[in-house]
Structure formats: C-alpha cells, structure tokens
Structure 1
Amino acid sequence: MEVIEILREASKKIYENVKELAGTEHAAGDFGIGAGGDISRNIDIIAEKTVLDYLKEINFECIVLGEECGHVELSNNSKGYVIMDAIDGSANAVRGVPFFCSSLAFATENKLSSITEGVITNLTNGEMYWASKNNGSFFNGEQINVHDKDPIYKIIGINTSGASPELMKRLSPIYEKHEHTRHFGANALEMALFARGLLDIFIDLRGKIRIQDIAAGYLIIKEAGGLLLDANLNPLDADLSYETRVSFIAASNQKILDEIVSLIDQ
C-alpha cells in the first residue's frame, strides 16, 4: 500500500471514531500534558490510539511523532516519520464548534522539507485534503490550487491566539486596511482552506506553532502552488523536534505577499 493511502485510511478511521464524540461530555477529560505541551483530552487520546492501532495492524515501519503520545518507534527499521496531530482544534472539538481536523504527514528525514505525503481531514464532515510530493494537492478527489486571481473579497487569515502586545501592534495595519480577517481555531484546516483557494494569505507570526500542526498543510500548500515562508521571508523549513516552534506566512502569490508584508513592516 502506498504511504498516501495509509495516511488516508488512518484519517478515515479517526473520522469514524470521533464524529459522534465532539461536543459531548465524553470529549473532554484531563489526561495530563501531552508531548506537544497542551492538555490531552479524551477525544485526542481516542484519535491518536486509532492511528497507532492501525499502523501496528498493518506493520507500517515508522517512527510516530504524535501531539499527545510523543515519540513512538513502531520499528527498528523505520522508513521515516509519521507526524501526527490527530485532533487539531481540540478546543473546538471539545466544545462542539464545527471546525477541527486531523493532520497526518510522512517525512523521510528529520526535516519539514522532507515531507512526501500529507492528509488533512475535516472531522466534522469527513472531507479530505491530501498531497504527495510532485503530484499536486487534492480535495475529495479534485485537484486544487491556491487562489491566484484578483479576489472579489480579499480574505486574510491571521492566528493571533495568545499573541504579544508587540505583535498585535505590528499586525494592526492589516486589521485597519482589510475588513475580512479570519481565524477559526485549527491551523491545519485553515491551511487546507488556503490551499483550496478560499483564503488569499494565512499568517502566524507568534513563534508558537508546532510541527505537528503544520506538517500536512506544509505539503498541501506547496503542491497547490502556494508560497510558504518563515518570519524572515525565507522558504519555511525546520527540524521535527518537539521543542521546535515556527512562524510562517502562506501567500497565494508574490503580489499579495508584498502588500501584506509592507503593512507589517511599517
């Protein structure tokens, strides 16, 4: 079985196991601090166990880097890394806000740039985004691309959760100039929407985002033709360590990137 099919099947199993759980009292619980640094909730644990059980069942030789479970070696002869955020948008999932997803990616080496497959599944409806390196990005079987035309409404995605006053001051010209700014509470799914052409730029300059949150979105955006840069406007890359935190800007084209960056750097 191809790696992309393994990740897609694992994502489907997550959806089947959690689709009735979101917003119920059984979604919550406090299972301590996960490897990613956040409180692990019951829905997170169920979703991760679903993936781990499936990978063991098919004897997929890999190292799993999970948001909750941490570093799990499923083989002494690993083919690479499965980078897993089984529930991205846990707060939304626990409360029943219909915007959360699973994010699974596969990397051959300990670098973001070595990712070869990525799958993001909207866990509220089962819609799936996926990409394989050099083969394009897809949404429910149809190839997708970033929005590269002059939009009727320019929609700017910005994650400012827990942002410092200094960062909010830097970003304030964007809010002043653009009426249509958005953040929905699940970076991976927002990256997928961007790759599908529903956002024109997506910004997270907090220096807080974990690799598990963006691994699948990284490849899906690149394969959809988007620009993906770090805070210094260099091509985004990082190691897969749990200590790693990144900032990024995803832009549909150079024109909108230049426009937004000029506002930030005023």
Structure 2
Amino acid sequence: MQPINVLKEASKLVYENVKGLAGTKAAAKDHGVGAGGDISRKIDVVAEKTVLDYLKKIKFECIVLGEECGRVELSKNPKGFVIMDAIDGSANAVRGIPFFCCSLAFATEDKLSSVTAGVVTDLSTGDMYWAARGRGAYCNSKRIHVHKEKPVYKIVGINVSGAKPSLIKRIQPLFENSNHARHLGANALELALFSRGLIDIYIDLREKIRVTDMAAGYLIAREAGGKILDKNLENLDSDLSYDTRLSFIAAANDELLKEILQQIKL
C-alpha cells in the first residue's frame, strides 16, 4: 500500500474514534507528559493508539515519531518515518472548540524535505487535506491552491501563543496595518486552510514549533503552490528530531511576502 493511502486510512480511523470524545470530561484526563514535553490527554492517547494499532495491523514497515509516544520502531528494516501529531490543537479538542486535527506525514529520510506524503484531517468536519509529492494538494477529492489574487480581506495567520514580549513588539505592525490577524489554535489545520486559499500568509516566529506539528502541512502547502521559508528566508528544512524547534513563514506569493516582511523588518 502506498504511504499516502496508509495515512488516509489511519486518519479516517482517528476521526471515527475521537469525534464523540472532544469536549467531554474524559477527553481531558491526564496521561502524564508525552515525548514532546506537553501533558498527554486521553484524546491524544486514543488518537495515537488508533494510528499505531493500524500501522501494526497492516505491518507497515516504518519508524513512528509521535507527539506523545515518542519514537516507535515497527520494523528492523523501515522504509521511512511516519511523523504523527494525532491530535493537533489538543486544547481546542479538550474544550470542544471545533478546530483541531490529525496530522500524519511520511518521510523517506531524517529530513523535513524528504516528506513525500501528508494528510491533515479536520476532526470536527471530517474534511481531509492531503498531498503526495508531485501530485498536487487536495481537500477530499478537490484540487486546492493557495490564494494568488489580491485578496478582498488580507488574512494573516500569526501564532503568538507563548511568544516573548520582544517578538510581540516586533510583529505589532501586522496588527496595525490593513491585515486581519488570526490564530486558531492548530498549526497543521491552519496550514491546510492556507493551502486552500483561505489564509494568505501564516507566520510562526516563536522558535517553538515541532516537526510533528507541521510535517504534513508543510508538504500540502508546497504542493498547493505556497512558499514555506525559515527565519532566514531560505526554503524551510530541518531534521526530524524532537529537540528541533522551527520558525517559518508560509506565503501565497512573492508580492505578499515582500509586503509583510517590510512591516516586520525581517
């Protein structure tokens, strides 16, 4: 089975297993600190177990890198890595805010740039965003693209959760100019909306984002025609380590990127 199909099936199972759990007391049950350093909630554990059980069932030869479970080697001769944030937007999921997702990616090597398949499933609606390298990006069965035209309202996604005061001061112009700033609480799903043309630029300069949070969204955005750059304005890349923390800017086009960079003087 091709990796993209494996990820799709696993993601569908997660949707079925957690759609009735979000917003309940059970969803918030504390399961200790996960490999990523955050508290694992029951909804996180249920979602990860769903993916792991499926990969074991079909004997998919890989190494799993999970937000909660850490590194799990499912084969002595792995064909690559499954990069998993089974619940991205856990705080939203626990509170019942309908904006959280399952993010799954497959990489052939220990590099973000080697991701060849990615799936982000909106766990509130069931909408599935997916991409396979060289085949474009899709929402369900419909091809999607970043927004290339001049927007009627310029929507700028900015992750400022836990940002230092110095960074807030630096990006303040983005809130003052003719931008409509948003932070919705699930990075992978926000990158999916960017890929669909609903957000024009998405910025996270906190040096906090993990590879597990964005590996799938990274490929989907690129296949949808978007640019994803690091803080030095080079094409984003990194290893897949849990210790790696990223900053990035995802932009729909060069003109918009230039305009935003002038505002924050990056």
Q: Does the TM-score normalized on the shorter chain lie above 0.5?
A: yes
Amino acid at match of 1:245: R
Q: CA offsets, 1:122-164, max 9 Å, x none?
A: 0001100000000000001010000000011110000000000
Amino acid at match of 2:98: P
Corresponding position of 1:181: 181
The number of residues matched between the two structures is: 266
Amino acid at match of 1:143: R
Corresponding position of 2:65: 65
Matches within 5 A, 1:184-263: 184-263=184-263
Listed as ranges, the gaps of 5+ residues in structure 1 are none
Output the CA distance in 2 between the equivalents of 1:174 and 1:97.
26
Corresponding position of 2:109: 109
* Superposed displacement of residue 178, structure 1: 2.9
* Superposed displacement of residue 184, structure 1: 0.4
TM-score with structure 1 setting the length:
0.99
Corresponding position of 2:83: 83
TM-score with structure 2 setting the length:
0.99
Listed as ranges, the gaps of 5+ residues in structure 2 are none
Output the CA distance in 1 between the equivalents of 2:84 and 2:93.
17
Amino acid at match of 2:133: K
Output the CA distance in 2 between the equivalents of 1:261 and 1:35.
34
Q: CA offsets, 1:197-252, max 9 Å, x none?
A: 00000000000000000000000000000000001101000000000000000000
Secondary structure in structure 1 of the residue aligned to 2:4: helix
Amino acid at match of 2:17: N
Amino acid at match of 1:176: E
Task: Please say if 1:148 is aligned against 2:152.
Answer: no
Secondary structure in structure 1 of the residue aligned to 2:32: coil
Secondary structure in structure 2 of the residue aligned to 1:44: helix
Q: After TM superposition, where is structure 1 displaced by more than 3 Å over at least 4 residues in a row?
A: none
Output the CA distance in 1 between the equivalents of 2:178 and 2:96.
29
Give the alignment's Cα RMSD to 1 decimal.
0.7
Corresponding position of 2:166: 166
Secondary structure in structure 2 of the residue aligned to 1:61: coil
Amino acid at match of 1:137: A
